[in-house]
Amino acid sequence: MVKDRFHDIVRTALEKEGWQITADPYEININDVEFEVDLAAEQLLAATRENQKIAVEIKSFISPSKVSDFHTALGQFLNYRDALEIVDPDRQLYLAVRDPIYESFFKRRFIVDAIQRYQLRLVIYNVQQGVIVQWL
Amino acid sequence: MVKDRFHDIVRTALEKEGWQITADPYEININDVEFEVDLAAEQLLAATRENQKIAVEIKSFISPSKVSDFHTALGQFLNYRDALEIVDPDRQLYLAVRDPIYESFFKRRFIVDAIQRYQLRLVIYNVQQGVIVQWL
């Protein structure tokens, strides 16, 4: 599947930058909400580099509506970040977005404002070169 | 479709309580994000009663993962509320949830905390009786 391809590209791109993948999928367990059921859909990975710990939510943005994809990405990001605060508070959550999606959609004013308002962290990657382009 | 059935039930239940439906679907237009594309999926309705104005996001929660449905519901709610602040700031946004979903899922601690943190307004409805049960 396409989304698995993007997942693998991000994983490899992180390794190229010296990150060690410590869990793939990375499962967050909260006692009263079954995140793992959901994680089957679009899975997180966890990585470390020196004393940094991150979790990465990889969104493919392949549905016909980028706005719908953004709703889901935003809600998932906030829920995962809130869950991480409980179970793994030192781990920073990032949303991984392909560079054409970032350029065409994430630079629109409404989306820029949402990213600012909800303090989303982004990692932009390039599919052809298989590299991380930018951390935001 | 099931989701359209829930939509119609909420619409009728609101009318029973004296609300006048002023737009169905209610389309939010922001200059640089095409919400209307997305609204084809799960549509808002707008209603008024005396000097109150509301928009209602009706979520069916029929996918196998309630957590996934909640991600989307949360992200959509926040994006729509932020959009309303720009185009129709006097209109209050509500998320309509069936009472069994409210009882079985929305009372879990993690979800209760999310509702509190993101200040979601809920309207709980009963499908069999076709009525609004609770405004939260």
Domain count, chain A: 1
Query: What is the tens place of the pLDDT at every residue in A117-132?
Result: 999 999 999 999 999 9
- Between A10-14, B31-35, B99-103, the lowest mean confidence (pLDDT) is in B31-35
Instruction: Give the domain CATH number at B31.
Output: 3.40.1350.10
Q: Average pLDDT over chain A, rounded to whole?
A: 90
Query: What is the tens place of the pLDDT at every residue in A110-119?
Result: 999 999 999 9
Average pLDDT over residues A17-38: 82
The model's pTM is 0.92
Angle between helices A66-87 and A109-117 (to 10 degrees): 10
- What are the tokens at B10? 């909420």
Q: Which chain B residues are Cβ-neighbours of A30 within 8 angstroms?
A: 110
Give the Cβ contact number of residue B118 at 10 Å.
16
Q: For residue A109, give Cα distances in angstroms to A104, A115, A116, B30, B83.
A: 11, 10, 10, 10, 11
Could you list the residue range(s) of the whole structural domain that residue B122 is in? 2-135
Average pLDDT over residues A2-12: 87
From the list B65, B113, B118, the residue facing A37 with the nearest CB is B65
Quick check: A33 and B108 CB within 8 A? yes
- What single-letter amino acid sits at A40? A
Quick check: A64 and B37 CB within 8 A? yes
From the list B34, B64, B108, the residue facing A67 with the nearest CB is B34
Angle between helices B109-117 and B66-87 (to 10 degrees): 10
Query: What is the tens place of the pLDDT at every residue in B51-107?
Result: 999 999 998 888 888 888 999 999 999 999 999 999 999 999 999 999 999 999 999
Alpha-helical (H) ranges within chain B are: 2-16, 35-39, 66-87, 99-101, 109-117
Q: Does A40 score more than 50 pLDDT? A: no
How many angstroms away from the CA of B48 is the closest CA of chain A? 26
Q: What per-residue confidence (pLDDT) applies to B1?
A: 67
Q: What per-residue confidence (pLDDT) applies to B40?
A: 47
Quick check: A110 and B41 CB within 8 A? no
